[in-house]
Amino acid sequence: MQYKLIVTDMDGTLLNRDQEMTSKNREAIDFAIENGVRVALASGRMYDSAKQHIEYLNMDIPIIACNGSLIKSSNGTLIYSNKIDTGLCLKAVEVLEKYNVYYQCQHEDLLFCKDTDNKDSIYYKINEFMKTQTKVVIEDDLKDSIINNDILKFTIIEENNTSILPVIKEELETIEGLKITSSWENNIEIMSEGVDKGQAIKMLCEHLNIDKSEIMAFGDNYNDIEMLEYAGLGVAMGNSNDDIKEIADYVTDTNEESGFANAIFKFMDTDEVGDLATNIK
């Protein structure tokens, strides 16, 4: 078979709207592994949140977390980590406080959250989304926590006034040394410059001795672009916006239709792989 590594985003890609993996997607992962193909996750999520979705496999799976800021095996072995410089974190906080938006800072195993009027709601939403009891610290002023901890990623969330996000993004982009992206229409994500899922896959491939042409990657949003461009076969989900579909080699069905599995079975079928050139775009 042509592919040795399948790397997949999670939310909007491997997981459905209920943040669950369909039975067909599980079958596809099992099928790939049984045929000697490795599988890795590449998510904006924290490591523990990503890990719990593949624990049923009972085997070691590489996990790219925090949009590529952290790579660990599912058995806990650290492969790579790239924190945001503390001074740059504090500059970003100045911008976020100026616009009075809600934001989170991800440490390897801690989530620092800007205080709001409803602490209970924050706990509920985080744990409902991540499906795990994340260690959450809620503070009115996050500066001390930022200074005393390695921050891998910021997430800014604005549900009521999304029109302010492009303004914030533009101002953040003036801070040299930061990487700015997005995984949902209502958020902005900040990492260290040079950090993205594509760069993380490159490092993982060097670690596993796999060529980029042997990678099949799946994604649905802007934080997946570099990953889709780097892989030998970049697959965009049917629920992706047109910008993502345009840069992909192939567009599969939506995450609600098990588009991940449908593409796996299509391109790992030996009778189909040879026809790849006629199926892309």
DSSP string, 147-198: HHS---EEEEE-SS-GGGHHHHHHHHTTSTTEEEE-SSTTEEEEEETT-SHH
Among 9, 11, 48, 249, the one annotated catalytic: 9
Tell me what the mean pLDDT of segment 193-219 comes to: 96
Note the pLDDT tens digit of each residue in 78-126. 999 999 999 999 999 999 999 999 999 999 888 999 987 654 555 445 5
Q: Give the Cα separation of 117 and 119 in Å (integer).
A: 6
Note the pLDDT tens digit of each residue in 4-59. 999 999 999 999 999 899 999 999 999 999 999 999 999 999 998 899 889 888 88
Note the pLDDT tens digit of each residue in 61-82. 999 999 999 999 999 999 999 9
Higher pLDDT, 158 or 280: 158
Q: Give the Cα separation of 30 and 37 in Å (integer).
A: 10
Q: Give the Cα separation of 155 and 254 in Å (integer).
A: 25
177, pLDDT greater than 60? yes
The angle that helices 165-172 and 86-99 make with each other, rounded to 10 degrees, is 150
pLDDT given at position 159: 82
pLDDT given at position 49: 87
Establish whether 150 is a catalytic residue: no
Could you tell me if 236 and 244 are in contact, meaning their C-beta atoms sit under 8 angstroms apart? Answer: yes
pLDDT given at position 271: 47
What's the sign of the alpha-carbon dihedral 261, 14, 254, 280?
negative
pLDDT given at position 90: 98
Q: Give the Cα separation of 244 and 228 in Å (integer).
A: 9
Which pTM does this prediction carry? 0.87
For residue 49, the 8-state DSSP code is H
Q: Give the Cα separation of 190 and 67 in Å (integer).
A: 9
CA 175 to chain centre: 23
pLDDT given at position 209: 95
